[in-house]
Amino acid sequence: MHVRMFLSAAALIFTFTAVGRAVPETYKKGGVAVLSPGSVSGSITAVIWKRGQDIAVEWYGEETTTYQYFRGHCELNTTTGELMISNLSVKDSGSYTAEINNRVTKTTEIKVITAVPKPTISTHCNPEETQCTLTCDASITRNTGAISYSWEIGDRHIPDSPSNWIDITKNDTDLLGKPISCQLENPVSRARSDDIRSPFTPNRRSEGVNKPAVLPVVLIVVFVVIVAALAGLVFWDKHRQQNAHESWRQYFARFDPRSCQNPERSRGTQRSTNGAVTGRDYHTVPTQDRDLESVSQEPRNEVETSAVAPNAEEPPDHHHQQEDETTEE
C-alpha cells in the first residue's frame, strides 16, 4: 500500500515537472539556434517572439521589427514562423515563446554554454615515488555547464570518472610505456589532452611534471646576441666612416695592447717641417715607408747636428785684428 502511494506521488511529481517546465535545449556559444513555433494551421499573418516577457521580434504582414540587442542578431522566417538566432552568447539563454496569428503556440527553453577548454595532465607523487595522482586540469567556469571526465590508458578506457583525478601505483606494470590522456566533455563539445607516459616508466620523466621553460630562455639569449651583434656593426661602421683612409689592419692595430705599453710608439715619430710626417701613428706607416724615412733622415740629422755643435770653433774676426794693428802703430 505504501509502495503504491509512493510510486503514484513520484509519477505525479515527474508529470508536473515535465509539463510545467520544458527540458532546455543546449547550444554552443557562438553557434546558431533555430526555434520552431510548433504546429501551425493555415497561413501565417502575424508572428511575435518573446524572451520572457520582452518582445524580441514581431511581424504583422509588412516589415519585421526587432527590439533591444536582437537587432542584427536574429532572423524571422515569416513563412514558417521560425526564429533563427546567430552568434549566440550566454545571455541569450532563457525562455522563448512564439505567438502565431495572436495565439500562443510553443515555448522553448534554451541554454547557451561555452565549449570545454583543452585539459592538461599534472603529476604529483608521494615522497617514496610508489604512488602518483594524475589530475586532469582545465579552466572551468559556470558557463561551461555540466562536465564529465574520462581517461584513456593504453587501450583501456575509463568512462565518466567521478572526479578529475586518478591514482596509479608502481605495481601497475601494465601501464609502463603506454600513453595516458584525459578528456573533458559537455553537451556541446569535447576536448582531449596530450598524451603522457607513466611516471614509473624507466629512464624517463613524466611529461606531466612541471619543467623549466627552456624555450623562452633560449629565445631571450638569441635576442641578446642579435642586439649585441647589431650594436657592434653600428660601432664598426661609425668608426670606419671617421677613419675612411685606414685599412682594416691599420684600424685594428690601434687596439693592439703593445701600443698601450709604449706611448712613444703609439704616438709615432714626430718630425720637423722639412718633409717629415707629423702626428701619424707609427704603426699605421707601412714597413717599407718607415725604412725609407729612416734612411733619408740620417744624413739630414748629421748636418743639423754639426751646424749647432757647441764645441765648434768660430771663424776669426778680421775686423778686430785690423784695429789692434792700428793701435800698435
**Which pLDDT tens digit goes with each residue over 59-98?**
999 999 999 888 888 999 999 999 999 999 999 999 999 9
Cell numbers that stand for 141 in this block? 567556469
- pLDDT band at residue 267 under the 50/70/90 scheme: very low
Residue pLDDT, tens place only, 131-153: 999 999 999 999 999 999 999 98
What's 23-113's CATH class? mainly beta
Domains 23-113 and 120-197 share a fold: yes
Q: Is the pLDDT of residue 327 over 60?
A: no
In this prediction, residue 247 carries a pLDDT of: 62
Q: Where are the domains of the chain?
A: 23-113, 120-197, 243-292
Q: Is the pLDDT of residue 291 over 70?
A: no
* Cα 65 to Cα 81: distance, rounded to the nearest angstrom: 14
Q: Please state the pTM of the whole predicted model.
A: 0.54
What's 120-197's CATH class? mainly beta
In this prediction, residue 129 carries a pLDDT of: 87
Q: Is the pLDDT of residue 318 over 60?
A: no
Q: Is the pLDDT of residue 252 over 70?
A: no
Q: Are 74 and 64 in contact (CB under 8 A)?
A: no
Q: Are 169 and 131 in contact (CB under 8 A)?
A: yes
Tell me the mean pLDDT in the region 210-220: 67
Residue pLDDT, tens place only, 167-178: 989 888 777 888
* Cα 219 to Cα 21: distance, rounded to the nearest angstrom: 58
Q: What share of the chain in percent tops pLDDT 70?
A: 61
Residue pLDDT, tens place only, 25-56: 999 999 999 999 998 888 999 999 999 999 99
- pLDDT band at residue 240 under the 50/70/90 scheme: low
CA distances 131 to 153, 156, 168, 195, Å, are 16, 20, 6, 19
Please state the three-class secondary structure of the chain as a single string: CHHHHHHHHHHHHHHHHHHHCCCCEEEECCCCEEECCCCCCCCCCCEEEEECCEEEEEECCCCEEECHHHCCCEEECCCCCCEEECCCCHHHCEEEEEEECCEEEEEEEEEEECCCCCCEEEEEECCCCCEEEEEEECCCCHHHCCCEEEEEECCEEEEEECCCEEEEECCCHHHCCCEEEEEEEECCEEEECCCEECCCCCCCCCCCCCCCCHHHHHHHHHHHHHHHHHHHHHHHHHHHHHCCCCCHHHHHHCCCHHHHHCHHHHHCCCCCCCCCCCCCCHHHCCHHHHHHHHHHHHHHHHHHHHHCCCCCCCCCCHHHHHHHHHHHC
In this prediction, residue 268 carries a pLDDT of: 45
> Where do we find the cell 608502481?
170
Cell numbers that stand for 51 in this block? 524572451
- pLDDT band at residue 182 under the 50/70/90 scheme: very high
User: How many other CB atoms are there within 10 angstroms of residue 32's CB atom?
Assistant: 13
CA distances 26 to 145, 146, 189, 248, 278, Å, are 10, 11, 11, 75, 93
User: How many other CB atoms are there within 10 angstroms of residue 293's CB atom?
Assistant: 15
Cell numbers that stand for 63 in this block? 516589415
